[in-house]
Structure 1
Amino acid sequence: MELLDNYMPQTSFSSYEEFAEKFKINVPENFDFARDIVDQWAQLEPEKKALVYCDDNGFERTFTFTEVSERSKRMAQYFVSLGIGPGDRVITLLRRRWEYWIIAVALHRMGAVLVPASIQLTTKDISYRIDSAEAKMLIAIDDEFVRAQIAPLKDQCETLHHILIVGDSPVTDYHDFNNEYPEFDLYDQPVNRTNDDEMVIYFTSGTSGYPKMAIHNRTYPLGHITTAKYMQRVLNNGLHLTQADSGWAKFGWGNIYGQWICGTAIFGYDPIRFDAGHFLETIQKHRPTTICVPPTMYRLMLHHGIEAKQFESVTWFATAGEPLSDEVNREWKSITGQDIHVGFGQSEGSPICCTFEWLEVRPGSMGRPSPLYDVRILAADGGYCDAGEEGEIVIIPAEKQVGLLSKYSLNKEQFQPLQGGVYHTGDIAYKDTDGYFYYVCRNDDMIKSSGYRIGPYEIESVLNTHPAVKESAIVGVPDEIRGQLICAIIVLHDGFAPSAELTKELQAHVKKNTAPYKYPRVVKYFHDIPKTTSGKIMRKDLKKLAESID
């Protein structure tokens, strides 16, 4: 049995062209992820696996859809007892704890609004999110850093009624989540919510100022059928791994919605910090069938050393979050025999472009557009770009469109994401004559130096091929003459040390392998590059560091 058939008139396609033409999602009236997916799987296949969870401390636990259904009903009733109701917003700081999956389903079940957040946030960040969302409840892991950040919040945030702590030890200063919710009966009330009501909110950063809220309605999970079935190629009764912190939209992309609709179990691996060796051991032990991790993680695994036998169970490798260098993909394929397939998108929606199964993996390309969206490249003059011309990726409203945010909110004012009927991504790209898209950079990451517009990705890809370079990142730093200078942040492999000679060698390496004007005039050596818990480079933080260090 596949629930996917309930939402798609056709699921198999012989070519990308047929996929683009005939792909369609049937959106039912008042779609309810908890009841229509989780409860339905529990009824159809009571022992079907939903979640395989483990951490680096040896704790392992497997949950069936029946268990997820039952626990989420108890949690929903518990939340009701705390005064949480339909439309109320709840912020979570849960990393990848197994409780996140159950809490998310419980909130969806009762019509409350899930607002995931990263455990890296400080008090100021969390307070801003609570106030902006007017959140009534905060659910956080029992972690020393997180506890220190949330301690002042009850006095600072007027709307915050409850703080719940999720952990393995008794809690006395806040609600003890794990010991309180199991005492409650099962929630069985019908929820009076429509497809247009809020379901999930992600905070997204712009080029300046505070992050805004990207608000998704209750059809959002259906948009991620494309993610799971066609970008990640998950298998019904398979085991899918997307390594991402629950505070980021990438978690929603790869760890719950489309995957459960398609019937795969989620592999919830929850280390405190990413370690390539532990990660490889865990993969070999639990044998996931499909994997989607950021390019940085693929690169770190290659640096650690991989063998084909570690990935014998894997039928499909995917990536998203950052551009994938051709060097990493070539080396990965030489060892495993498989390509890494790229997906591109944002917190505001589901994948915009992908290297779908019918497409060849072209160096530097992120594939072709998802059939859910009418994707174009917009020139500065308002027209659409020809092949080879750089411009902004935009989405034109289309009949098939599902999964794109319904609205934004900033300073408690809601506004539409469309500008003149068009959704602007803020990402720069170009396409070739066959319609393959190539990512350049975020519009705000574009470096403008001496009249040139320079994207960081190409330079990083070149630097990462040098034998001394473990990691690199490119940012622009202010310069009175050129406007900005290209600044390379370098993390060296063991056995290499910063020196003037190495700096000149790296600069010459870039000049030799790309346009000479793109070489970094400034080179700085760091011990590590700041990243999110999902392995994505935090470019804003890196730029501030680069500007502050002489």
Structure 2
Amino acid sequence: MEESMIRGEKVDWEPRTQVEVLRESVNRFKDRYVIDYLGSKITYEELDRMSNSVAFQLSEYVKKGDIVIVSMQNIPQFIIVEYAIWKLGGVVLPINPSYTERELKYIVRDSNAKLMIASCESNTIDEIKVIRTNPNTFHEVPQNWKIQDCEEELEFKGTISNEVVEVNDLALLVYTSGTTGKPKGVPITHSNIYASSWIYKNWFKFNENDKILGMAPFFHITGQIFHITTPILSGSSIHISYRFDPQLSLIIAEESKTTLTMLVATAYRAMLNFLDKQDLTSMRVWSSGGMAMPKALEEEWKSKVGNWIYMAWGLTETTSPATLWPYPYNGKLPVDNEYNIVSSGIPVYNTEIKLCEDGEILVRGPQVVKGYWKMGEFKDGWLQTGDIGKIVNGWVYIIDRKKDIINASGFKIMPREVEEVIYQHPAVEEVVVAGIPDEYRGENVIAYVKLRKGYEKSMELAKDIINHCRKLLAPYKVPREVKFVDEIPKTPSGKIMRRAFKGEDYI
């Protein structure tokens, strides 16, 4: 049964600031470790003390409401610095360390940031004061990442009295990836963060015995909420390794007996390539968000690991979760019969989902921000997500991005539907389907395919993939051409960049 509007379970909670959350967790779990960085551990009490020290150091530059850019990978300093800034009443603006000078200049000018705290490898600009931190300070980074060295300028000893922070004060300013036009700032309050953290904690039953495989980038909303603020609310420990590496992630999961994680679909694909009889039975929740999960990947993971990957759907603007699979879930893979797409779950607590006439999904809830930076508030609290979807028996199915729909001779084609079919071909590891301008048809459907190991690029294989599509798709949906690529471009958070293929000439 298709529906146009559904609501998550209504529950009550009392929002708290992240400063209050940390203080409560320190009181409850002070001697338990909160961070495990490649084997080097930091307790809750040490995190509190170190963030106090850094806050004291930063207090010369940061006052309540000031914005501070944090540019680093998943290292202990990210968490320490973040809570230090919050203790001063400041706002954290997390960015990818690989941002160029051009990108940095735009972010600094648009946000009016007062300070930048950057790891050694981060690019910087002269327009803003920079304090450097070294990824090797707490543990040496694995050699394959070849980190350039710099002096550690953060101070981890000292004291401070906390600034008074309110739940409706800004805590994060996160810029969207800017798939159309310039990136937009998303202002996230302490209340938004608490709502999302509370949702994850109670939905997936986070507790003080959980060990989080924290591989999603902290500068991305998933890493922020699922891998920092939710574990700290729950008294859990966060296991990090600078950056995601599929082989290292499996080693950490097995040796540290981690229990929960959230990663993009491409990370699971990468880990499958290194799967070899590892004991992963400690993991009770493998979850994924940020991009579509191919049905074929879900089925392969289930057959080899024994668990479904719990799908999530949300945006930076929803401070991460909007829909999740029920937990625990032991049923069949929830797949839409029309598009063969895996469901993203049901609305989370206190969250409303509705469909517009054109199929665009709108979301409203306590984790949804009020509007964009310097751009006013959303009408009646409803976020227009830009995602096209459907609701069937209370489950949400994200079909595609509104802007990615292909128009070929007047026929509307959902790239994801075509991708799901191509993923069923045994030679295909990753695929992107995009519409390329055509004078006669408007757009042509083109498939860009990365092959699995053991398969060679050839005209015959391209024809075989097209013939495979002809058996399962209407003629107008079948790709006009299959182009083989060595790599599928991805964002720093691991999402496939479909826009990189529009108008590009790949061979």
Is the 8 Å Cα contact of residues 51 and 156 (structure 2) preserved in structure 1?
A: no
For residues 25-104 of structure 1, the aligned pairs below 5 Å read: 25-27=13-15, 31-34=16-19, 36-54=20-38, 60-81=39-60, 83-104=61-82
Q: Return the match for 2:183 from 188, 194, 211.
A: 211
Whether 1:108 and 2:86 are equivalent positions in the alignment is yes
Q: Secondary structure at 2:493's aligned position in 1?
A: coil
Range with bigger deviation, 334-343 or 435-444: 334-343
Is the 8 Å Cα contact of residues 428 and 450 (structure 2) preserved in structure 1?
A: yes
Is the 8 Å Cα contact of residues 8 and 352 (structure 2) preserved in structure 1?
A: no
Residue segments in structure 1 that go unaligned for 5+ positions in a row: 1-18, 55-59, 170-174, 381-390
Whether 1:311 and 2:280 are equivalent positions in the alignment is yes
Per the alignment, residue 352 of structure 2 pairs with: 374
Per the alignment, residue 386 of structure 1 pairs with: none
Show CA shifts across 1:323-375 (max 9, x none): 21222222222233222111100001131111111654412111111122111
- Give 1:438 shift: 0.9
Per the alignment, residue 264 of structure 2 pairs with: 294
Q: Secondary structure at 2:241's aligned position in 1?
A: strand
- Give 1:75 shift: 0.4
Whether 1:235 and 2:195 are equivalent positions in the alignment is no
Is the 8 Å Cα contact of residues 132 and 152 (structure 2) preserved in structure 1?
A: no
Per the alignment, residue 5 of structure 1 pairs with: none
Per the alignment, residue 8 of structure 1 pairs with: none
Letter in 2 for 1:104: E
Whether 1:123 and 2:107 are equivalent positions in the alignment is no
Per the alignment, residue 178 of structure 1 pairs with: 152
- Distance, in Å, in 1 between the alignment partners of 2:72 and 2:96 is 8
Per the alignment, residue 160 of structure 2 pairs with: 187
- Give 1:251 shift: 1.1
Q: Secondary structure at 1:84's aligned position in 2?
A: coil
Whether 1:463 and 2:437 are equivalent positions in the alignment is no
Structure 1 residues 228 and 236: alpha-carbon distance in aligned structure 2, compared to 1, 3 A threshold: farther
Whether 1:137 and 2:115 are equivalent positions in the alignment is yes
- Give 1:549 shift: 4.1
Show CA shifts across 1:372-419 (max 9, x none): 211111113xxxxxxxxxx011024xxxx322113312xxx3411x13
- Distance, in Å, in 1 between the alignment partners of 2:186 and 2:314 is 14
Per the alignment, residue 144 of structure 2 pairs with: none
For residues 333-372 of structure 1, the aligned pairs below 5 Å read: 333-349=302-318, 350-357=320-327, 360=331, 361-363=333-335, 364-372=342-350
Whether 1:547 and 2:482 are equivalent positions in the alignment is no
Q: Return the match for 1:450 from 394, 409, 419.
A: 409
Whether 1:267 and 2:245 are equivalent positions in the alignment is no
- Give 1:231 shift: 5.0
Structure 1 residues 426 and 45: alpha-carbon distance in aligned structure 2, compared to 1, 3 A threshold: same
Structure 1 residues 339 and 242: alpha-carbon distance in aligned structure 2, compared to 1, 3 A threshold: same
Residue segments in structure 2 that go unaligned for 5+ positions in a row: 1-6, 138-148, 336-341
**When the two structures are superposed, what TM-score results if normalisation uses the length of structure 2?**
0.89
Is the 8 Å Cα contact of residues 9 and 348 (structure 2) preserved in structure 1?
A: no
Q: Return the match for 1:247 from 214, 219, 238.
A: 219
Whether 1:528 and 2:475 are equivalent positions in the alignment is no
Is the 8 Å Cα contact of residues 232 and 318 (structure 1) preserved in structure 2?
A: no
Letter in 2 for 1:426: G
- Sequence identity percentage: 26
- Give 1:85 shift: 1.1
Is the 8 Å Cα contact of residues 487 and 522 (structure 1) preserved in structure 2?
A: yes
Show CA shifts across 1:483-526 (max 9, x none): 21112111112332222211111111122233332221132211
**When the two structures are superposed, what TM-score results if normalisation uses the length of structure 1?**
0.82
Per the alignment, residue 161 of structure 1 pairs with: 129
The alignment's C-alpha RMSD in Å is: 2.3
Provide the aligned length of Structure 1 versus Structure 2: 481
Q: Secondary structure at 1:282's aligned position in 2?
A: helix
Range with bigger deviation, 127-136 or 348-357: 348-357
Per the alignment, residue 405 of structure 1 pairs with: 369
Structure 1 residues 460 and 211: alpha-carbon distance in aligned structure 2, compared to 1, 3 A threshold: same
- Give 1:305 shift: 3.1
Q: Return the match for 1:503 from 437, 448, 462.
A: 462
Is the 8 Å Cα contact of residues 91 and 138 (structure 1) preserved in structure 2?
A: yes
- Give 1:469 shift: 1.5
Q: Secondary structure at 2:232's aligned position in 1?
A: helix
Is the 8 Å Cα contact of residues 302 and 332 (structure 1) preserved in structure 2?
A: yes
Letter in 2 for 1:43: N
Is the 8 Å Cα contact of residues 354 and 362 (structure 2) preserved in structure 1?
A: yes
- Distance, in Å, in 2 between the alignment partners of 1:542 and 1:121 is 21
Structure 1 residues 463 and 231: alpha-carbon distance in aligned structure 2, compared to 1, 3 A threshold: farther
Q: Identify which of structures 1 and 2 has the higher relative contact order when contacts are C-alpha pairs closer than 8 Å and 6+ apart.
A: 2
- Distance, in Å, in 2 between the alignment partners of 1:549 and 1:469 is 17
Is the 8 Å Cα contact of residues 233 and 316 (structure 1) preserved in structure 2?
A: no
- Give 1:548 shift: 4.0
Per the alignment, residue 384 of structure 2 pairs with: 424
- Give 1:426 shift: 0.8
Structure 1 residues 529 and 178: alpha-carbon distance in aligned structure 2, compared to 1, 3 A threshold: same
